[in-house]
Amino acid sequence: MLRRPPYRRTLVLCGLLGLPVALFAFWFLVSIHKLQQLVWFEWPEDLGWDQAPWWWALGPMAVAGLVVGLVVTYMPGRGGHIPAGGLHSGGMSKQALPGVVIAALVGLPLGTVLGPEAPLIAFGGGLALFLAHLIRVPDTPTTKEILGAAGAAAAISALFGNPVVGAILLMEVAGVGGPQLFAVMLPALLASGVGDLIFTGFVHWTGLETGSLDTGLPTPPPLDWPDLVWVLLLAPVLAVLVHFIFTGGRYTVLFTAKNTVRNTVLCAFGAGVCITLYALATGRSPAEAALSGEQTLNELAQNPEAWSVGALVAVLVFKSMAYSLCLGSMRGGPVFPALFLGGAMGALVAPLPGFGLVPAMAAGMAASVSAALRVPVSSVVLVVLLVGNVETVALVVLAAVISFVIAELLPPGPRLPTAPAAQPAGPAQTPAQGPAQGPAPQRP
């Protein structure tokens, strides 16, 4: 293939298109971050509060629901893919881009419990196709697929700060290889995780050396059997929790399909009520239960002692409910709220005998994201890069695979209705299954 001039030209074009896509992704993320800081932190301080008051989420979430409902009803592309269907690598058109941007720039800063990754993927792919059209690249199905995937990968890599995550995530989301990819990849991933766990354990327990690529950097405390036992219990719990959060999101999609504007406002306001109940129950800022959870996860990891058991339980309960409502009614990505819920569950169980904060949060995030996205390899890579701890890789792999298998075996819930423009897919859809609206083929 590399010997073919058309493919080489396409490869160069993809590299060039990555420049404007990455620039847009940068300013898009900066805008969302600045708006979130303005709405949830600066405005309350300007009005004389130390933090946003308990009722703060109600108004912004109602406004977000109204704007997103209008975008979904009246604009091409319906504001992007339904987040209850996970991530998607295609399906966007040039005409859909304005709706995607409006829904994201209004909904996400006002408190929607979703992340920016889905709008970035949609806009990255759509912008790449738009630019290709301007320079008159041949409009063929293959060209569209390659350029759209390249633009989406460039945008998502800017978000995660690593090109490896973007490439692997888009590979799994796009379903390259079909069902056989998962049939081969999942056992290989599990076997490699078990092999690493046993090998690491024997190195620590016997004290014998085999030779390695160790650079001499400081290493964290070694894993032990209690870590493995707790992960085997933690991963199924998170798989079930996240699966039913997405199932609730599916039912929310069916509810908002009728009288979309009104019902989207009701669901967004309901999410605001959940955020408000968290603030009332804990006395903490409602911002912790709102938004994607990215900033709150960093605060939790750096200062877990600031969170009581009651606060962790409350944020798991109320953010999960708000997340489920937003998955079916708003527009955004499902990755960061899933990461936060997994991290919060890990922090909650970290004091268990023989466990610890780093392995607990790492395994929790891997299990949660794997159940949410159904892309186990990407979940492992993302969590390992976030944690930056090679000692936990085996636990991360086991948690991701166990969670993925359990979530796949659970009842998928109702099918999502077919959208007139961009077809959404359901949370039980994996890259190998195709759109959730049609019958899913059997996975090997």
* Rama region for 113: left / alpha / beta (φ>0; ψ in -120 to 50; rest): beta
Q: What is the pLDDT of residue 254?
A: 94
68 — pLDDT class (breaks 50, 70, 90): very high
What does pLDDT average to over the chain?
Answer: 79
- The pTM assigned to this predicted structure is 0.82
Q: What is the pLDDT of residue 436?
A: 39
Exposed / middle / buried, residue 251 (Cβ in 10 Å: 0-12, 13-18, 19+) = middle
How far is residue 213 CA from its own chain's centroid?
32
- Please tell me the distance from the alpha carbon of residue 181 to that of residue 166, in angstroms, as a whole number: 18
Exposed / middle / buried, residue 375 (Cβ in 10 Å: 0-12, 13-18, 19+) = buried
Q: What is the pLDDT of residue 46?
A: 93
Exposed / middle / buried, residue 12 (Cβ in 10 Å: 0-12, 13-18, 19+) = exposed
166 — pLDDT class (breaks 50, 70, 90): low
Say whether pLDDT at 207 is over 60.
no
Q: What is the pLDDT of residue 205?
A: 53
26 — pLDDT class (breaks 50, 70, 90): confident
φ, ψ (nearest 5 deg) of residue 333: -110, 150
Over residues 247-291, the pLDDT tens digits come to 999 999 999 998 999 999 999 999 999 999 999 999 999 999 999
139 — pLDDT class (breaks 50, 70, 90): low
Exposed / middle / buried, residue 45 (Cβ in 10 Å: 0-12, 13-18, 19+) = exposed
Over residues 375-394, the pLDDT tens digits come to 888 888 888 888 877 778 88
Share of the chain above pLDDT 90, in %: 43
What is the rounded average pLDDT of the residues 208-221? 41
Highest mean pLDDT among 94-103, 127-136, 394-403: 394-403
What is the rounded average pLDDT of the residues 352-368? 91
- Please tell me the distance from the alpha carbon of residue 375 to that of residue 309, in angstroms, as a whole number: 31
